A and B are shown apart, each in its own frame.
Chain A
Amino acid sequence: MLIETMPERTGHLEPANLPACERQTLPGVISQRACLLYGARWMLAAIRDAVHLIHGPVGCAYYSQTVRQKNYKVFSTGLGEKEIIFGGGQKLEEAIREAVSLYPRSSAVLVYTTCAAGLIGEDVEAICKQAAAALGLPVVPVNCPGFGGVSQGNGHDVAAAALLEHFIGRGSAGTPLENSVNILGEFDVQGDLKEIEQLLQRLGLNIICAVSGRATVKNLARAHRARLNIVHCGRTGRWLARRMEERFGIPWQKVSFFGLDATAAALQAIAAFFNRPEAAAWVEKEAEATRQRALPYLGRLAGKRVALFFGASRMGSMAGAFRELGMEVVLCGSQFGCQEDYTESRRCLGRGTPLIDDAHQRELEEFWHRYRPDLLVGGTRERFVAHKMGIPFLVFPQETSPYAGFNGFVHLAREAAALVGAPVWRLSNNELLREEGEEKMAEYVRYVERGKKENGRSSL
């Protein structure tokens, strides 16, 4: 047993095998998971030339305005009590019309369904069809009420389905474009995409469309003419890649640009696909040069322990990257991984590193307490708890500079070193406070024991 937790959760914490996954979150926990709408927005927000209309109360639109640390323009039907009771179909129709007339340059409308709109049971699809006919541009329903599915991962699926059905390959049938690729599941966080693009350009390749990172309605319409689909994030890209293979015959490769070996392997695989191994002659040399560039930071990181908690399909390659930094990966977890992701991560991690699915805050705290890693990696919501426990925290998806590609690796090394070596952790452990701290710790141990005795079960 890794830590004490609720009996329902034991299968989700796996020291050697694959954790149970894609199950509903237990009620009453401080879940790190989000909803379908969040997943769909995360995936579709990057389509800049479309109107994003959130069909629901304004709150959902308000939160969808900033995704991936970027500001977007959002539209909402702003459902009120009246519409909840009498239906909001008419309001939706009007809203679509008005949005398009206020932003005449938009080339599509995406209508997201929220909990409220889903529950009052409106025929959003029919309204969209009608509006599309009347306005002469695609009006696409994205059926993502928050209560659907088990996590935001299902929202990614819904978004991918909408992309496939309404955007990809809508243009001319067209012939394949030479030397062209799509990137699926790349979110262009802090310029990751630019790093990747530069590397691909050195192989002589062009990106037609980075689905969910930098896409336009026009580019998506040409996306089916690519020679190869590169899947960067499996959870969001794999499904779409498979369907595109079926429908348009585009082969796909799952690669990662996080970490030196992963990046080098990715570039070589892509070069091999395009039958140009000579184009990738520089890759090994570049990787070595990058390692040299990262060297000054590695002294601080060698032998340090790191724990990861983020999207499952990034876990394997990020774990690899941290190993290349000389760190030991002691714990891996994800909010919304699927079986395939965990299998892949397990292969990269080997047996012995615990894999956790859908860990909630209480479990994470317990883990961090038990394993005492020197660095934690995860999302903003976990970050501040870690700080309160006196543990350095690296936010991923990152907040400062790109981590993808060779330059990204150096950024990662620098930031990890900066965090681990920051004087604040020494200051927070000041001797002025230590005595009191020990007393508190002892109190905590007593508390756990008491809970066991009194309730016949763990109080955790």
Chain B
Amino acid sequence: MQLKEIPIAGIPYDQIKIAKVPATPEYCERPAELIPSTSRSVVINPNRTCMPLGAMWAVLGVKKAVPFVQGAQGCTTYVRYTFSRIFKEPAVIATASFHEDAAVFGGRRNLVEGIRNLVVRYWPELIGVVTTCSSEIIGDDMVSFIKMARANLRKEIGAKKADQIPIVLVNTPSFAGSHVEGYDRASRAFVETLATTRGEPNGKVNIIPGLLYPGDIREIKHLLRHMGIEAIVLFDISDTLDAPLEPPTSVPYWAPGGTEVEEIKDMANSLATFALQPHAGQAGARYLERKYGVRAVVGPPPVGVQGTDAFLKALREITGKPIPRSLLEERGRLVDSLADTLHHTMMKKVAVMGDPDIVLGVTRFVLEMGMEPVALAGGTASKTFVHDVEAILAEAGYEGEPPLIINGGDLFEFEEYLKKQSRLDLIIGNSRAVDISRELQVPLVRVGFPIYDRFGYQKRPIVGYRGGEMLLAEIVNSMLDYQYPDDRTQQL
């Protein structure tokens, strides 16, 4: 901490930074008592969104499944728009299309007719019914509505066909939580509805990835393949939300891939369930453990060296398969990259924002790089977040100034705190932090949900050793872009 020089050709540590000028006159003084989000009612630029989004994300990871949103049209449109912008893919989400009549008389007609219309035009292999604020407030009895919808379908298309289409209900009143919890609830709703029998052990492991992008899920599958382990990935969006462009073929359009319904049914027979993100997916894993004794392994997110190590070690312990040489080499390459870039990352001040699991994973990784976190902002409030962060800091032997930990705050709080810092080198977070990054004149490395203003981030992994290498490169390069005079960059 006392170092004044870092090993970069004699440039004093506090002089490498280019002078920062506030981009706008927003640097005005604010009443200090109103800055922490816990001491005010108003939320300014929220750092999380609503529960239904998480559930829709989950349903889109199942093969030929359509989320059916029991709510007004906007609840679907906004989410479809969000997904389209992130994944650059079509997102097929049906709406119950609530209008005033539904708000007054309830949404029964909307659900029963809606399911029928959806089935006869799309023939989906699964329907995930997702509730919203409105349907929860008016008190729709979804279980009995779904029964009615099923009875109606049987009349119309015959019992055999009607029963082939499972309908999974995910209760997601959006005022009660965030998209992370929506995904969590979906993970439980799916195994509870579909994985109902404990039969022959299948020797596989279950993976509930959480809100990870297609690139991340591909990377996890790569790790599993090299370990020689068969897995059921619940909510596998790696193909459904990253589909190839092939000759125009059929109507309606169905993306390839996704978790098959049969696979989900088989999940009670697996060796263990890995919930890679503790906040998103834990509920499903815990349910399987309680009900069928399928062991639950919750977290840590496999980001960085230790995160991935922990994942692979747990896999080795449960399946008894060794970690192959190829993966050890990948690990070695990541560690080598850490050594190669050490002089750029050591003691740099970083702020991380996003969903709690992403923040936890990334924090552990930046500590491995020798960076010093100044603020860690998880958008979704959770009971364990503060404790987890402290554990990670303790584990890394972090001795610097303790960072500000925001558990469920908004971006205003995050920004106001960062403005008061004497030094900040980097923000790691999602696209919502763009304005903060511009205001404070520090680079932003985009990680997590949502990233809608850059291309390819949904395909580039951050998990696993190879993902770590990519994230590290991104971090180092964006700091070089921002913070070093042009004639010094060749010293990398």
* Stretch from B94-102, B347-355, B398-406 contacting the other chain: B94-102
Contact A369 B251 (CB under 8 A): yes
Q: Which of B67-75, B358-366, B474-482 contacts A (4 or more CB under 8 A)?
A: B67-75
From known contacts A33-B73, A57-B133, A384-B89, infer whether A428 and B246 are also in contact, taking CB-CB under 8 Å: yes
Cα distance A258–B116 in the bound complex, in angstroms = 41
Cβ of B50 and Cβ of A53 under 8 Å apart? no
Alpha-carbon distance between A114 and B44 when the two chains are bound, in angstroms: 17
Q: Taking A146-B73, A150-B99, A390-B247 as contacts, is the C-beta distance between A27 and B114 under 8 angstroms?
A: yes
Q: B176 near A: Cβ within 8 Å?
A: yes
Q: Are A35 and B77 in contact (CB under 8 A)?
A: yes
Q: Tell me if A71 and B434 are in contact (CB < 8 A).
A: yes
A-chain residues with CB within 8 Å of residue B75 when the two chains form the complex = 35, 115, 146
Q: Size class of A's contact patch?
A: 35 or more
Q: Which of A56, A57, A150 has the most CB of B within 10 A?
A: A57
Binary flags per residue of B296-322, CB closer than 8 Å to A gives 1, else 0? 000000000000000000000000000
Q: Which of B173, B250, B251, B434 has the most CB of A within 10 A?
A: B251
Query: Closest residue of chain B to A386, judged by CB?
Result: B90
**A31 and B88 within 8 A (CB):** no
Q: Which residue of B lies closest to A150 (CB)?
A: B99
| Bound CA span A60–B78, Å | 9
Q: Which segment, of B105-113, B184-192, B338-346, faces chain A?
A: B105-113
Tell me how many residues of B have a C-beta within 8 Å of chain A. 88
Q: Which stretch from B117-125, B214-222, B418-426 is at the chain A interface?
A: B117-125
A362 adjacent to B71 (CB under 8 Å): no
Residues of B contacting A272 in the complex (Cβ-Cβ under 8 angstroms): none
Tell me the minimal C-beta distance from A8 to chain B in angstroms: 9
For chain B residues 127-163, which have a beta carbon within 8 Å of chain A? 132-134, 137-138, 157
B40 x A98 contact (CB < 8 A):
yes
B113 near A26 (CB under 8 angstroms)? yes
Is B81 an interface residue when CB atoms closer than 8 A count as contact?
yes
The listed residue (B94, B95, B134, B253) touching A116 by CB distance below 8 A is B134
Chain A residues near B138 (CB, 8 Å)?
Answer: 119
When distances are taken between beta carbons in the complex, the residues of chain A under 8 Å from B96 are 27-28
A444 to chain B, nearest CB (A): 4
Complex CA distance for A384 and B91, rounded to whole angstroms: 9
Write the nearest CB–CB distance from A429 to chain B, whole angstroms.
Answer: 6
* Closest residue of B by beta carbon distance from A367: B251
B25 nearest in chain A by CB position: A105
Contacting pair B251 A444 (CB below 8 A): yes
Most chain B Cβ neighbours within 10 Å, of A53, A102, A383: A102
Q: Complex: how many Å from CA A27 to CA B301?
A: 39
Q: Does B80 contact A (CB under 8 A)?
A: yes
Q: Is the CB of B100 within 8 A of A147?
A: yes
Contact B90 A385 (CB under 8 A): yes
B31 touches A (CB below 8 Å):
yes
Are B43 and A361 touching (Cβ within 8 A)?
no
Is A36 in contact with chain B by the CB < 8 A criterion?
A: yes
**Chain B residue at smallest Cβ distance from A116:** B133
The reply to whether A94 and B41 contact each other, CB–CB distance below 8 Å, is yes
A377 to chain B: closest CB distance in Å?
16
- Specify which chain A residues have a CB less than 8 angstroms from the CB of B27 in the assembled complex: none
B53 to chain A: closest residue by CB = A59
> Cβ of A38 < 8 Å from any Cβ of B?
yes
In the complex the two chains form, is B121's CB within 8 Å of A362's CB? yes
User: A384 vs B138: C-alpha distance in the bound complex, in angstroms?
Assistant: 35
Stretch binding the partner chain, chosen from A276-284, A306-314, A413-421, A435-443: A435-443
In the complex where A28-B114, A29-B95 touch, is A440 in contact with B249 (Cβ < 8 A)? yes
Decide: A76 and B42 in contact? CB cutoff 8 A. Answer: yes
- Name which of A29, A96, A101 has the most chain B CB atoms within 10 A of its CB: A29
Q: Which of A61-69, A162-170, A191-199 has 4 or more CB atoms under 8 Å from chain B?
A: A61-69
User: Are A455 and B157 in touch, CB under 8 angstroms?
Assistant: yes
B7 within 8 A of A: no
Complex partner residue of B134 from A33, A147, A383, A447, CB under 8 angstroms: A147
Among A79-87, A293-301, A341-349, the stretch in contact with B: A79-87
8 Å CB contact of B44 from A73, A79, A104: A73
- Judged by a CB distance under 8 angstroms, whether B103 is at the interface is yes
**Chain B: minimal CB distance from A371 (Å):** 12
> Could you tell me the distance in whole angstroms from the C-beta of A300 to the nearest C-beta in chain B?
21
Q: Give complex CA distance A28, B250 in Å.
A: 21
Interface string of B270-296 (1 = CB under 8 A from A): 000000000000000000000000000
A428 and B247 contact, CB distance less than 8 A: yes
B106 to chain A, nearest CB (A): 12
CA distance A118 to B248 in the complex (A): 44
B176–A81 CB distance below 8 A:
yes
In whole angstroms, what is the CA distance A81 to B171 when docked?
14
* CB pair B48 A58 closer than 8 Å: yes
- Whether B84 is near chain A, meaning CB under 8 Å from some CB there, is yes
Residue pair B77, A98 in contact (C-beta under 8 Å): no
Q: Are B100 and A148 in contact (CB under 8 A)?
A: yes
Query: A424: which B residues are within 8 A, CB to CB?
Result: 245
- Per the bound structure, the CA–CA distance linking A105 and B27 in Å amounts to 12
A74 touching B117 in the complex, CB below 8 Å, given contacts A63-B82, A385-B253: no
Q: How far is the CB of B23 from chain A (nearest CB, A)?
A: 13
A401 touches B (CB below 8 Å): no
> A177 contacts the other chain (Cβ, under 8 Å)?
no
User: C-beta contact mask, A97-118 vs B, less than 8 Å → 1, else 0?
Assistant: 0110110110000000011101
User: Once the chains bind, are A444 and B175 in contact (CB under 8 Å)?
Assistant: no
Q: Is A205 an interface residue (CB 8 A)?
A: no
Q: Which residues of A contact B196 (CB under 8 A)?
A: none
A27 to B111, Cβ gap below 8 A? yes
Roughly how many angstroms separate A428 CA and B44 CA in the complex, as a whole number? 44
Known A-B contacts A27-B114, A381-B84; the reply to A437 vs B137 at CB < 8 A is no
What 11 additional pairs, Cβ within 8 angstroms, besides A35-B74, A115-B137, A388-B255? A27-B111, A27-B113, A34-B77, A61-B46, A62-B46, A119-B137, A146-B71, A384-B88, A424-B245, A441-B249, A459-B121
Q: Chain A: residues with CB nearer than 8 A to chain B?
A: 6, 24-38, 53, 56-63, 65-66, 71, 73-81, 83-84, 91-92, 94-96, 98-99, 101-102, 104-105, 114-116, 118-120, 145-152, 361-362, 365-366, 369, 380-381, 383-385, 387-391, 424, 428-430, 433-434, 436-437, 440-441, 443-444, 447, 455, 457, 459-460
Question: Can you list 10 A-B contacts with CB-CB less than 8 angstroms, sorted by A residue number?
Answer: A32-B77, A59-B51, A63-B74, A73-B44, A80-B175, A94-B42, A116-B133, A147-B72, A365-B252, A433-B247
